[in-house]
Amino acid sequence: MVRQPLFIGLTDDDPDDREIFEDALAQIRPQSELITFKHGGELLDYLEEPPEVLPDILFLDLNMPAISGKQCLEDIRSRQEFDKMIIAIYSTSTAQDHISETFKLGANLYINKPNSFHQLIEILKKILVTDWQQHAEQVNRQNFVFKV
């Protein structure tokens, strides 16, 4: 069962994308808590001393300067204490090599950033009602890329 309220993490170097994500989440899940990180280094610093409560789901931008989303994913998946963390790649890239690589590295989901606020709301509505622990056990190449 999904815990209420959800604790959601977002790592994205684009301030507009962070703000739009925050606005969409506030509309559909105002009781949920959102923690944002401006870049991969900030996320990894936060995880260095693991907090008592980890995000229920972490949205991770793939294309960030300095420490990319791929590098963050590799670091997180190399640490046993984060084995159960649900990680959704949240990227503008639709490149098959990015999708394949992040699947192999242990991401649970790949989401192409939507073109509209309405699409983002629809995506978040579907994602935030999913039982991710069950989904993580059944993730495969066919259900890895999220489609609205």
Domains of the chain, each with CATH number or no CATH = 7-144 (3.40.50.2300)
Q: At what angle do helices 96-104 and 69-77 cross, to 10 degrees?
A: 20
Question: Checking phi first, is residue 106 left (phi over 0); if not, alpha (psi -120 to 50) or beta?
Answer: left
Q: Which residues contact 134 (CB under 8 A, 6 or more apart)?
A: none
- E strand residue ranges, 47-144: 57-60, 86-91, 109-112
Task: Kindly report, residue by residue over 69-79, the tens digit of the pLDDT.
Answer: 999 999 999 99
How many Cα atoms are found within 13 Å in the side-chain-facing hemisphere of 7?
7
Render pLDDT for 1-50 as a digit per residue (tens, 0 to 9): 445 678 999 999 999 999 999 999 999 988 889 999 999 999 999 999 87
